[in-house]
Amino acid sequence: MAEPYPYYLQKYETGELERIVEKLKENLKICRLCPRYCMVDRRKKVGICLQRDTARLTNYLLHFGEEPPLVRDEDGEIKGAGTVFFSGCPMKCIYCQNFGFSQLNLGRDVSMMELAEIFLELQERGAVNLDLVTPTPHLPFIVEALRMAIERGFRLPIVYNTSGYESVETLKLLDTIVDIYLVDIRYTDDETGLRYSKVPDYWTTTKRAIKEMYRQVGAFRENPFRRGVIVRILVFPEDIGGYEKAFDFIVNELSPTVPVSLMSQYFPVYKALNDPVIGRKLTHEEYERAVHTLERYGLIHGWIQEMGRR
């Protein structure tokens, strides 16, 4: 049987999408959606991500800054990703460029019907995918809105745009719903994650999560469909993230065919401005070293951001 595209169509047709929504909604009573496992009743109080029992977002737009195959159509025409920025985040990165909505919870609540309308509007405006940024705390509403949108003709593939700090149990519910995992590797040891993002187990957890993503969709490819994992690596001053260990993990525990998007755009904002290590911009030399290391590992399927571009 031919593979369905987007993935979620089969789950919609069999009625399984509804069952997944119900499972995701159980988390509103005792939330375990992400590896913070707050176990709070979100109808009464907020967990670490500050989210309650309603979807909340700051913005949605056609975004042209994502990786090339995520913004162009099959004919190569630039159309943009249909990006939705959700409020709140389980991580508390001191350098977060989106700290207003990720940590201060700026944004507005939207009903599931409104969210479905937004998905449809992005499709109508020509987006080539639905690019969900920091979606995890909002999953019960997103999947329900997706179901409503599918009923009205929504057919864009889903990009799950994440820090990588995800629970395998939640990811398993997304199996054959998400087509593309656009996932960061920020750090390659837990201590650094604790220092800069206030999570105690970033690397231990993220390694497991990325392996699950890879099990579901493999390495990103464009044919016959756009599907798979793309890993983003932001290069930090003093290489606090440890990119070589990340390259090693990708080559040896996933596959050298996984595209890596190497990013040079770090600049200090928010609480990083006064940090003694990352309170400065990346230098050209530091970035060149990262590029050479990437090449030495033979990771040739991705993209290398030019220095100075954001």
Q: Which of 17, 24, 48, 210 binds ligand SF4 (CB under 6 A)?
A: 48
**Nearer to ligand SF4 (CB atom), residue 37 or residue 270:** 37
Residues 6+ apart with CB under 8 A from 82: 60, 62, 63, 119, 122, 123, 125, 127, 128, 129, 130, 131, 156
Q: Check binding of 36 to ligand SF4 (CB under 6 A).
A: yes
**Nearer to ligand SF4 (CB atom), residue 65 or residue 200:** 200
Residues 6+ apart with CB under 8 A from 137: 31, 33, 34, 47, 49, 51, 86, 88, 89, 90
Q: Check binding of 135 to ligand SF4 (CB under 6 A).
A: no
Beta pairing, strands 55-63 & 108-110: antiparallel
Q: Check binding of 40 to ligand SF4 (CB under 6 A).
A: yes
Residue 57: which H helix or E strand, with range?
Answer: strand 55-63
Instruction: Please tell me the distance from the alpha carbon of residue 171 to that of residue 235, in angstroms, as a whole number.
Output: 26
Q: Is the separation of the CB atoms in 194 and 240 below 8 Å?
A: no
Q: Check binding of 33 to ligand SF4 (CB under 6 A).
A: yes
Q: Check binding of 38 to ligand SF4 (CB under 6 A).
A: yes
**Nearer to ligand SF4 (CB atom), residue 32 or residue 301:** 32
Q: Check binding of 240 to ligand SF4 (CB under 6 A).
A: no
Q: Check binding of 34 to ligand SF4 (CB under 6 A).
A: yes
Instruction: Please tell me the distance from the alpha carbon of residue 199 to that of residue 218, in angstroms, as a whole number.
Output: 27
**Nearer to ligand SF4 (CB atom), residue 143 or residue 233:** 143
Q: How many Cα atoms are found within 13 Å in the side-chain-facing hemisphere of 121? A: 11
Q: Which of 135, 137, 157, 193 binds ligand SF4 (CB under 6 A)?
A: 137
Q: Which of 6, 80, 82, 90 binds ligand SF4 (CB under 6 A)?
A: 90
CB of 195 to ligand SF4, least distance (A): 19
Instruction: Please tell me the distance from the alpha carbon of residue 28 to that of residue 225, in angstroms, as a whole number.
Output: 34
Tokens (6 digits) for 235: 């290069």
Q: Check binding of 31 to ligand SF4 (CB under 6 A).
A: yes
**Nearer to ligand SF4 (CB atom), residue 33 or residue 116:** 33
What is the contact surface with ligand SF4 in residues (CB under 6 A)?
A: 31-34, 36-38, 40, 47-49, 51, 90, 136-137
